Amino acid sequence: HQGIVADAVEAARQAVRLIEPTGNQVILGDAYLMLARALLASGDQRHAVTTADRAAKTMLASDRSRMVAQARSVAVEAELAGAVDSERGEVILDEVSALVGELRSDGWHQRAAALQIVAIKAARRLGLKALVDADVEYLRLGAFGSDRDVLLAGWYAEGIARANLGDMRSAVEACREGLG
């Protein structure tokens, strides 16, 4: 898996190098976003943040404001992955909340759900579970939807909610249901 991710990072870097001289800001914004996602997958949070920010700026400059939330979500996800203290985590989780609303209003429901899952995991790791209770509850409602990714996020949230209540057997059942 790591080799594939490294290849993806290099391929995305090559795409940026090839597109930059053309001046095509629309495709360049997409290339930066692709590179940011690959960097995030490789565990390079710092460069993922700066590249996602560059993607957002490029998208704004090319009149693609609806794509900015996509780029910001990658940057925020990388920031959450690198957060090591609850104080910084709280600040980032506040940004996640606003960004999830923006993603949903722009029609990016799968990305919003994926970002909420990342936030839930980070909040649990940082001891900030109470800050994502609304996210857990919202996603739980999606456990009975039809979109595969939102459905999976919903069952994950259902498992988290049950675990938060101390019912580990039921939490595992919810996760099994989601995996099924």
Per-residue tokens: 86: 């609850």
Cβ atoms of 74 and 34 within 8 Å: the answer is no
Provide the pLDDT for residue 143.
Answer: 61
Against a cut of 0.75, is the pTM above it? Answer: yes
Of the ranges 65-69, 97-101, 135-139, 145-149, which one carries the lowest mean pLDDT score? 145-149
The helix (run of H) or strand (run of E) holding residue 89 is helix 86-105
Q: For residue 178, name the pLDDT band (cuts at 50, 70, 90).
A: confident
5 contacts: CB under 8 Å, gap ≥ 6:
38, 41, 42
Whether 81 and 122 have beta carbons less than 8 Å apart is answered as yes
- What is the model's pLDDT at position 103? 94
- The stretch 137-163 carries a mean pLDDT of 82
> What is the structure's pLDDT at 109?
87
